[in-house]
């Protein structure tokens, strides 16, 4: 229990730091948006590029694990998007909600938590999960958001506009370039490596501080009911890990340790990616920010229960 809490407490600390700075007037009303722009245009692209540029494709080729983890996340994402569309949400907003319900914080919580629970054997599957989350799931949400925001309804013109928007999006361009570097076996200069590490290392703390700044703002009451974030949180912390367990253990019959790693990664709280997209596209971010906060709080309980169950076996 102390291990899980000690990992999650710094996350709350960074959120609270942003919250306190805004409420005390240390940072102004535009700080959340400006800091988020830094993350979206510089820090997070550097991190995504770095992950893909150093990925060893031979080690990452684990199709059964990829299928179990990704299908569970995509199923939750698709189900939430479908329900939100039926309830009258726009495609862009429904896609952000779907991402909030299926986007585990593998990059910033998954690595240290899995290292404590499973040791170095967890590094490869955690890397695979991170790539799937930040590149596949994230990219799918961006495609749907871009599609929903386009006013053009003729298919071929709509496709051209969406492709143009995607080609200018740093969150897709950066990992694509990283994959090219990895595939061509290019060796980056030491100075470039240092640059990427420094810039990419700023993505998580700056995103969390930006979230705290956002939560500190006193805004008009959101039209979305508070219950929205709770059922998105339930989908993230309960539905996704249960579905992942069923696929990993029953459908693909993965080794026991891989099943446990997959479930633990799927049970992680919602990362800051959905919030950054909501801010980036200037969409309603109240539900997203509440989901991140609620899932992070709730994961203190759910992750503790999972870790206690694993240690008792």
Give the pLDDT of residue 244. 97
Please state the rounded mean pLDDT for residues 138-149.
84
Give the pLDDT of residue 74. 96
Distance CA 73, CA 263 (A): 11
Q: Does residue 223 lie in a domain region?
A: no
Q: Does residue 126 lie in a domain region?
A: yes
Look at the chain and report how many structural domains it folds into: 1
pLDDT digits (tens, 9 = 90+) for 165-188: 667 778 778 888 988 898 888 889
Give the pLDDT of residue 68. 96
Domain that holds residue 134: 2-217+228-311
Q: Does residue 14 lie in a domain region?
A: yes
Burial class (CB in 10 A: 0-12, 13-18, 19+), 164: exposed
Of 286, 287, 248, 293, the residue nearest 270 (C-alpha):
293
Q: Does residue 270 lie in a domain region?
A: yes
Give the pLDDT of residue 26. 93
Q: Does residue 222 lie in a domain region?
A: no
Which CATH number belongs to the domain containing residue 252 in this structure?
Answer: 1.20.1530.20
Helical packing angle, 63-86 and 138-149, nearest 10° = 30
Give the pLDDT of residue 270. 92
What separation in angstroms does the CA of 2 have from each of 8, 116, 265, 277, 307? 10, 11, 18, 32, 11
For residue 252, what pLDDT band results from cuts at 50, 70 and 90? very high
Give the pLDDT of residue 310. 73
User: DSSP readout, 48-104?
Assistant: HHHHHHT--HHHH--HHHHHHHHHHHHHHHHHHHHHHHHTT--HHHHHHHHHHTT-B
State yes or no: pLDDT of 220 exceeds 60: no
Give the pLDDT of residue 249. 94
Give the pLDDT of residue 311. 65
State yes or no: pLDDT of 51 exceeds 60: yes
pLDDT digits (tens, 9 = 90+) for 58-114: 767 889 999 999 999 999 999 999 999 998 888 989 999 999 999 998 877 888 788
């Amino acid at each position: 229990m102390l291990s899980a809490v000690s990992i999650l407490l710094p996350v709350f600390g960074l959120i609270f730091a942003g919250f306190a700075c805004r409420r005390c007037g240390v940072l102004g009303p535009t700080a959340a948006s400006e800091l988020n722009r830094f993350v979206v245009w510089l820090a997070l692209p550097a991190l995504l590029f770095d992950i893909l540029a150093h990925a060893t494709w031979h080690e990452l080729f684990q199709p059964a694990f990829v299928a179990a983890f990704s299908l569970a996340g995509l199923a939750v994402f698709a189900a939430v998007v479908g329900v939100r569309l039926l309830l009258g949400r726009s495609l862009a907003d429904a896609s952000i909600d779907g991402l909030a319900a299926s986007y585990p914080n593998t990059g910033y919580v998954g690595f240290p938590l899995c290292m404590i629970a499973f040791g170095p054997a967890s590094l490869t599957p955690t890397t695979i999960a991170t790539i799937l989350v930040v590149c596949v799931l994230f990219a799918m949400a961006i495609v749907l958001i871009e599609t929903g925001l386009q006013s053009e309804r003729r298919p071929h013109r709509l496709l051209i506009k969406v492709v143009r928007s995607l080609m200018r999006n740093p969150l897709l361009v950066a990992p694509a370039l990283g994959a090219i570097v990895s595939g061509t076996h290019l060796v980056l200069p030491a100075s470039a490596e240092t640059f990427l590490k420094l810039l990419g290392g700023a993505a998580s703390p700056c995103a969390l501080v930006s979230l705290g700044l956002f939560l500190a703002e006193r805004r008009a009451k959101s039209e979305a009911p508070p219950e929205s974030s709770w059922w998105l949180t339930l989908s993230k912390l309960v539905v996704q890990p249960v579905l992942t367990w069923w696929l990993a253990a029953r459908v693909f019959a993965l080794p026991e340790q891989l099943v446990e790693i997959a479930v633990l990664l799927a049970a992680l709280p919602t990362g800051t990616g959905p919030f950054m997209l909501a801010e980036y596209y200037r969409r309603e971010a109240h539900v997203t920010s509440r989901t991140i906060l609620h899932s992070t709080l709730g994961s203190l309980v759910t992750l503790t229960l999972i870790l206690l169950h694993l240690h008792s076996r």
